[in-house]
Chains A and B, each alone.
Chain A
Amino acid sequence: GQQVMQIPQYQHVQEGEDFTTYCNSSTTLSNIQWYKQRPGGHPVFLIQLVKSGEVKKQKRLTFQFGEAKKNSSLHITATQTTDVGTYFCVSTTNAGKSTFGDGTTLTVKP
Chain B
Amino acid sequence: GAGVSQSPSNKVTEKGKDVELRCDPISGHTALYWYRQSLGQGLEFLIYFQGNSAPDKSGLPSDRFSAERTGGSVSTLTIQRTQQEDSAVYLCASSRLAFASYEQYFGPGTRLTVT
Contacts and interface: CB of A to CB of B under 8 A. Distances in A.
Interface residues of A, number: 25
Residue among A33, A97, A101 facing the most chain B CB atoms (10 A cut-off):
A97
Interface range for B: 20 to 34
A20 interface: no
Interface stretch (A54-62, A71-79, A88-96): A88-96
Contacts of A95: 56, 98
A95 B99 CA distance: 7
A68 interface: no
A48 interface: yes
Given A96-B50, A98-B33, A98-B48, A33 B103 contact: yes
Contact of B98 (A41, A43, A88, A96): A96
A107 to B, nearest CB: 13
A43 B106 contact: yes
B80 interface: no
Contact of B45 (A41, A94, A99, A102): A99
Nearest to A30: B100
Contacts of B50: 96
Contact of A102 (B42, B101, B104): B42
A30 B14 CA distance: 42
B90 to A, nearest CB: 11
A97 B45 contact: yes
B101 A48 contact: yes
Interface of B: 31, 33, 35, 41-45, 48, 50, 56, 58-59, 91, 93, 98-101, 103-109
